[in-house]
Amino acid sequence: MELQFFGHSAFKVHIPGATLLIDPFLTDNPTFPEGLSIEEVSKGVDHVLLSHGHNDHVGDAIHILKETGATLTANWEICMWAQDKGVENINPMNHGGCVDMGAFGVALTNAVHSSACSCDTPGSIADIYLGNPAGLVVMAEGEPTLLHMGDTDIFSDMELINEIYQPQIGIVPIGDRFTMGARTASMACERFFDFQTIIPCHYATFPQLAQSADEFVELMGDDAFRVATLKPGETVEVKSIQPAP
């Protein structure tokens, strides 16, 4: 599995038979790499996955879905909202389900957060409710299972998520204020999960957030070698580690 980071919580994921974009907040993302365009990022994409409805996660999803014809996988409310905006290919689901997309399966997990998008009406301060926030589990045969936590605080049922899905890759928000900070994110990774690779996200984008992953890496202690701190634009390849016979 190959993952490319675009800053904040936006990732492109390559697996055999599918290319996914997760939470493609690109245009208004201050950390989106200079020299890259939305067209380059969305080239070859056939699936867009959204963890929740906040603008810094939905980002350019509607534009990309219309231009590429990719399929949107998200909760029911987000999919209906996107369909109303002209998105043709939707795959609505909700917590507790698992959907077979052919090349991969996807499930939604709990996330302790909120979910709405700013209203499109000029001058309005109203928000549109877009269902419950989620983490995203991506499963493909022969590939490591990926958990993109979305935006979340720490919660004890993370242990159950680990038991059910056994994710080997964790994309973990560490920026504080709106999500876990370094202390709680490191605690979640060490107490509840058995990640092979941990990729911190949702930091350094805005002044209110933690400006680096240094504290998180330090708090990971002896497990710091599992942390892949990617700069926006960088790519990492992770192969599944098979248990010993």
> What integer is the mean pLDDT of 208-233?
98
The tens digit of pLDDT for each residue in 110-153 reads 999 999 987 666 666 678 999 999 999 999 999 999 999 999 99
The tens digit of pLDDT for each residue in 3-62 reads 999 999 999 999 999 999 999 999 999 999 999 999 999 999 999 999 999 999 999 999
- Report d(CA 86, CA 89) in Å as an integer: 9
Domains of the chain: 2-232 (3.60.15.10)
pLDDT value, residue 95: 96
> What integer is the mean pLDDT of 173-196?
98
Q: Angle at which helices 61-68 and 76-84 pack, to 10 degrees? A: 70
pLDDT value, residue 241: 75
Q: Can you read off the two tokens belonging to residue 198?
A: 């941990």
pLDDT value, residue 121: 62
A 10 A CB-CB count for 2 gives: 13
pLDDT value, residue 243: 52
Amino acid at 159: E
pLDDT value, residue 235: 98
- Closest by CA to 95, choosing from 104, 82, 108, is 108
Sign of CA dihedral 178, 184, 189, 192: negative
- Closest by CA to 178, choosing from 42, 56, 78, 61, is 56
Q: Report the mean per-residue pLDDT for the chain.
A: 95
Q: How many residues are given for the chain?
A: 245
Strands 90-93 and 71-75: parallel
Confidence tier at 245 by pLDDT (50, 70, 90): very low
- Report d(CA 55, CA 28) in Å as an integer: 10
- Report d(CA 167, CA 142) in Å as an integer: 13
pLDDT value, residue 69: 98
Q: CA 24, 27, 31 angle in degrees (round to 5)?
A: 85
